[in-house]
Copies of this chain bind each other. A is one copy, B any other.
């Protein structure tokens, strides 16, 4: 049973976070709690890490990106679809705030599992398409890929953006047959 006030609080936190992030990506958890009119404890019970909160706030955006998978697969080969999709995600996450450092943090693994679930599902879909037509090696693991991807959105954007090159490297690794 979820109490109604709890549900409302969660909504208020999300709203406050959305507004705060829009104004300044570095807003502190405390500030958000205050703005939402809840205690820090409540904030942390709902979103145990800053990343969880960011991801929840941008859930719609993430879902939008996830939803593009079928279209991408219809338009281009799986590897290219994966490339486009990943760059979209990297772009979106980069504009956001502090996300990415959470990937692979040992703690909160259960929550991460849940939070990243849809993302993993999307990657799985893309990889499977490639495995089906033989363009992606059969032992490719979505979790590995996501984790490697984490390095991309940490990569400095700026003038010399390494991320396309890094992604190309990883994709070529996915394409190659594993060595004997």
Q: Which residues of A contact B (CB under 8 A)?
A: 101, 103-106, 109, 139-141, 143-145, 147-148, 150-151, 154-156, 158, 162, 165-166, 168-176, 178-179
What residues of B have a CB within 8 angstroms of the CB of A105 in the complex? 154
Interface SS, A side: helix
* Nearest-neighbor residue (CB-CB) of A79 within chain B: B179
Q: Is the CB of A166 within 8 A of B150?
A: no
A147 to chain B, nearest CB (A): 5
A41 to B179, CA, bound (A): 51
21 contacts between A and B (CB under 8 A): A103-B151, A103-B154, A104-B151, A104-B154, A104-B155, A143-B162, A145-B169, A147-B151, A147-B155, A148-B151, A148-B170, A151-B151, A168-B173, A170-B170, A171-B173, A172-B173, A172-B176, A173-B174, A173-B176, A175-B176, A176-B176
